[in-house]
Amino acid sequence: MVVVIRDNEPVEPVDCQAGSLQSEIMSTPLETQASNSDDCLGGELDLVGAVARRRNFAIISHPDAGKTTLTEKLLLYGGAIQQAGAVKARGEQRKVTSDWMELEKQRGISITSTVLQFDYSGSTINLLDTPGHQDFSEDTYRTLAAADNAVMLEDAAKGLEPQTRKLFEVCRMREIPIFTFINKMDRPGREPLSLLDEIESELGLTPWAVNWPIGSGEFFRGVIDRRTRQVVLFSRAQRGRQSKEKILDLNDPDLKDLVEPDLLAQALEDLELLEAAGAELDLELVHAGELTPVFFGSAMTNFGVRPFLDAFMDMAQKPVGRLGTDGLVDPLRPDFSGFVFKLQANMDPRHRDRVAFVRVCSGRFEKDMSVRLARTGRTIRLSRPQKLFGQDRAVVEDAYPGDVIGLNNPGMFSIGDTLYAGAKVEYEGIPCFSPEIFSWLRNPNPSAFKNFRKGVNELREEGAVQILYDIDESKRDPILAAVGQLQLEVVQHRLQHEYGVDTRLEPLGYQVARWVTGGWSSLDDVGRIFNCKTVRDAWNRPVLLFKNDWNLNQLLEEHSQLNLSTVAPVVSGVEPISL
């Protein structure tokens, strides 16, 4: 029994059984898991130690590369769940932990981002699960703003795909270290060397294979760890359970009896070619986003997941400083600060709650602490912070840089907001990107207007879709602006199932949107303009809609003094417009 001392006052005793949280987590209720595991590791760690224990990453991939399956298997090996559910679960099989929304379960895809926190090998991991579908790339961008590392998932048969390339560019822009997991090695695929060549030639990213596959497809036997010169052989386990592994030295005489000689010979020949290439594993280059450690495996069969997780813990970047308006903010800054990167309504349909996802950037967060909201200057007491695990939540006592916590959101938070204690800190905002599909959202039932308004405002808050308004005040219906059609379908589905409102979409004939960087005064200086529609966004910024790029270019030729942007200017000190 350990008595924890906080702020010179004793808090209730914490029972630290031998084996600690890691061995208990699979049988322990979430409420117990949420009590900070630092208490069970010899009392409260100081800030330096707590930051050193944190790892934080997001997974990026093209749809169907196996992202959700890999997420589940990482949780399985982390001890956070006992059995992983197949993505397209049938009958009595479990649903996927990270896909909590009803529409996600119906379609077998991830359409929201969520957070999954678990302990592994003495460290605390925050896994930021992102939507794989390209229509939700803006939600993925916001999630990457909170990540310190990214895992790029590739299908061994397809290699780099369009959505993967697009998200890689976001990671490169943010200088996020990238770890590559080449998935589906248990199926027929391309030659591993050609996959590495593609990464180097098309992304300009130097690959370094941490392990190398022995065979592929139905002959995928295991991997060779280049750092330890050990062979990890896999055997299939019961579905949803951890695979069985056998570890041998590369020169072990028993190896020839366990692996077909031709498969082993081919793997060793490939390794010789890699060694001859001369590249070395340099963690400074990894953390600079210039070199990517590469792993091979199969998430569906659990092959290679544990070796990946172990190596990732060794190589991943710990929580780093974040850029604020006054420069870089060190995570070891004593005072708490963090920013809101996501809002989500109705994660628990029984309570119709609204949750703000906050990435802790500096200092120690404590339950019941008072903080300031940088955008408005208001002081807020955070009385019920929550640890997040998919749809499940439990109250958490404290959190450190790299952690993500959930805060009850009564409507005061916006995406990009900074929360801080002590001296003022304000982090760079998270921009909105140019949508490509626009539709009027009609409410055919006037008696349901109250719920319609509530639903539209809450979905706008969480960034499920951008909301625009006509400058003609008599036209009250909102305009939905999205990157892809599926975003609009999700909004309609959620309005119907979460707010009880049936709606109708009426497409507008526009495909291009640009923000006027000088605001309304710049637009007034230009005077009357043609072949576009002027609207305002939820922050009362002027937006021009065009039917095509030709009309956009024509306007720029006629009014060269007008500055337009594909990204919305970040605002501060302004409240958004509500329907």
* Nearest in space to 564 (alpha carbons), one of 517, 509, 511: 517
User: How deeply is 455 buried, as exposed, middle or buried, from its count of CB atoms within 10 A (0-12, 13-18, 19+)?
Assistant: buried
CA dist 355 and 344 (Å) reads 5
Per-residue pLDDT, averaged over 193-218, amounts to 93
Per-residue pLDDT, averaged over 551-556, amounts to 92
Q: What percent of the chain lies above the pLDDT cut of 90?
A: 37
- Other CB atoms within a 10 A radius of the CB of residue 553 amount to 11
Per-residue pLDDT, averaged over 290-299, amounts to 93
CA dist 269 and 254 (Å) reads 20
Lowest mean pLDDT among 99-103, 276-280, 405-409, 523-527: 99-103
pLDDT in tens, 239-260: 556 667 888 888 888 888 888 9
Please name the residues in contact with 115: beta carbons below 8 A apart, sequence gap of 6 or more: 126, 127, 128, 129, 357, 388, 389, 404, 406
Alpha helices (H) along 387-515: 449-461, 485-499
Per-residue pLDDT, averaged over 129-133, amounts to 62
Q: Which three-class secondary structure state does DSSP give residue 524?
A: helix
Q: What is the pLDDT of residue 473?
A: 84
How much is the CA Rg of the chain, to the nearest whole Å?
25
pLDDT in tens, 384-424: 777 655 556 677 888 999 998 888 877 788 888 999 999 99
Lowest mean pLDDT among 52-56, 144-148, 190-194, 360-364: 144-148
CA dist 355 and 348 (Å) reads 10
CA distances to 295, 397, 407 from 368, in Å: 42, 9, 11
Q: What is the pLDDT of residue 145?
A: 85
pTM, entire model: 0.75
Q: What is the largest CA-CA distance in the chain?
A: 83
Question: Which one has a higher pLDDT value, 428 or 147?
Answer: 147
- pLDDT bin (cut points 50, 70, 90) of residue 97 is very low
Helix (H) or strand (E) holding 331: none
Per-residue pLDDT, averaged over 108-116, amounts to 51
- pLDDT bin (cut points 50, 70, 90) of residue 52 is very high
Lowest mean pLDDT among 242-251, 257-266, 476-485: 242-251
- pLDDT bin (cut points 50, 70, 90) of residue 573 is low
Q: What is the pLDDT of residue 536?
A: 92
Question: Which one has a higher pLDDT value, 479 or 6?
Answer: 479
Asked if 405 and 386 count as a contact pair (C-beta separation under 8 A), the reply is yes
Tell me the pLDDT of the chain averaged across its residues: 79
Structure token pair of residue 61: 């991939």
- pLDDT bin (cut points 50, 70, 90) of residue 178 is very high
CA dist 88 and 102 (Å) reads 13
Q: What is the pLDDT of residue 57?
A: 92
Q: What percent of the chain lies above the pLDDT cut of 70?
A: 79
- pLDDT bin (cut points 50, 70, 90) of residue 201 is very high
- DSSP tag of 517: T
- pLDDT bin (cut points 50, 70, 90) of residue 358 is very high
On the question of pLDDT at 267 being above 50, the answer is yes
Per-residue pLDDT, averaged over 483-487, amounts to 79
